Amino acid sequence: MAALAAALITAPGVSAQGKLPPYPDALRCAGLTSAANNIGKGTKESSQLFDHLIFWSMTAADAGRAAGKNARQVDADTSREATAAEARLRAQDGGTSAALADCVRRVTPLDK
**Residue ranges of the alpha helices (H) in 22-112?**
23-40, 46-66, 71-90, 94-105
3-36 pLDDT, tens digit each = 444 444 433 333 345 789 999 999 999 999 999 9
What does pTM read for this prediction? 0.82
The answer to whether 36 touches 55, Cβ cutoff 8 Å, is: no
What is the mean predicted confidence (pLDDT) over 39-45?
Answer: 93
111 vs 37, which has greater pLDDT? 37
Q: 50-64: buried (b, 16+ CB within 10 Å) or exposed (e) per residue?
A: ebbbebbbebbbebb
Instruction: Tell me the per-residue pLDDT of 51-97, one tens digit each, with 9 for 90 and over.
Output: 999 999 999 999 999 999 999 999 999 999 999 999 999 999 999 99
